[in-house]
Amino acid sequence: MSVLVDKNTRLVVQGITGTAGGFHARQCMEYGTNVVAGVTPGKGGQMFDGKVPVFDTVWEARQEAGCNVSVIFVPAAGAADGILEAVDAGVELVICITEGIPVMDMMRVKAQM
């Protein structure tokens, strides 16, 4: 498998203030990944663990923090929208491991990519 995340990665964590997003963001930071932003709608302006700025949208995170990779930790019902939001913001690589995303939602994602 290719290495997709490297020293040039500027990671945004979508869902960073949630349980899974927060856990994995901390793990990424401990491993040395450059986590530059988090996104949780309605929580923009906060800081995650006092280190990572939280934005309301991926677009804001891309403009302010220059993220080029997104990892998504949101419930299945919102995962497709999260993927599309990152793609629309110009993020180069989007990683989403959410289980149970409705098939029709993923068909919509595929059609727009």
| pLDDT of 71 over the 60 cut | yes
Average pLDDT, stretch 24-31? Answer: 96
Whole-model pTM: value is 0.94
With cut-offs at 50, 70 and 90, classify the pLDDT of residue 112: confident
CA angle 4, 32, 23 (to 5 degrees): 90
Secondary-structure breakdown of the chain: helix, strand, coil percentages, each rounded to the nearest 5: 40, 20, 40
Percent of the chain at pLDDT > 90 equals 92
Please, what are the domains in the chain?
11-112 (3.40.50.720)
